[in-house]
Amino acid sequence: MPNSRRTRRDFFDAAFDLLEQSGFPALTASALCEQLGVSRGSFYHHFDAFDSFVAELLADWETRYSRDLITRAETVTDLDRRLNYHVELAAELPHGAEAALRAWGSVQPAVAAAQRRVDQLRFGSLADLLRSHGIPKAEAEIYATIALNTLIGLQMTQCPVDVGRLADLYGHLTRLLTDLPGL
């Protein structure tokens, strides 16, 4: 793609790549421009400042990798199929970038706040799904916590995340859930 046609999305995608490959300290305007083959002027054409870029990147993460995925999953009503679809969607996440964002959140309050929102969206979606299929609130929240912490744990301990292992673990959890009495 010609340099003059770079979009905000290109900068976000490049940021996720940099986070995935090199961690949050490597994420700079210069590194993004180098990766995309554009001048710093191109970056500042799209973003007022690096802090503005980071705020928009975090909003993109929350939307693209949580809200949009949750919306896609809500189109499936059967519990077993929807849980399996959640597994497929979890495999699509930028796991290395999410691990880098979690590490960054340990030193940057704005990133930590975005991380909490993403985690709460994912947790809430799964807990609500389980409750809507008759699982009591406390139990639904336990299963949602197990699912979320499994994802986070693999992201933080594996580089790259073995999505086959993630699918296997979620498969076991799905079988436990769908074997519950009344489901």
Structural domain boundaries of the chain? Answer: 7-178
pLDDT < 70 regions, the chain: 1-4, 181-183
> What gap in Å lies between CA 30 and CA 98, rounded to an integer?
21
Predicted pLDDT at 1: 45
The reported pLDDT for the residue numbered 67 is 94
DSSP secondary structure string for all residues of 152-170: HHHHHH-SS--HHHHHHHH
pLDDT of residue 183: 61
Beta strands in 12-125 (DSSP E): none
Is the pTM here over 0.85, yes or no?
Answer: yes
Residue 18, judged by CB atoms within 10 A of its CB (0-12, 13-18, 19+), counts as buried
3-state secondary structure of 109: helix
Helix and strand totals (H; E) in the chain = 10, 0
Tokens matching residue 121? 């969206």
Fold of 7-178: Tetracycline Repressor; domain 2 (1.10.357)
Q: How confident is the model at residue 174, as a pLDDT?
A: 84
Say what the pLDDT of residue 2 is. Answer: 45
- Give the whole-angstrom CA distance, residue 49 versus residue 152: 30
Q: Which amino acid is at 78?
A: D
What local confidence, expressed as pLDDT, does residue 4 receive? 56
- What's the length of the chain? 183
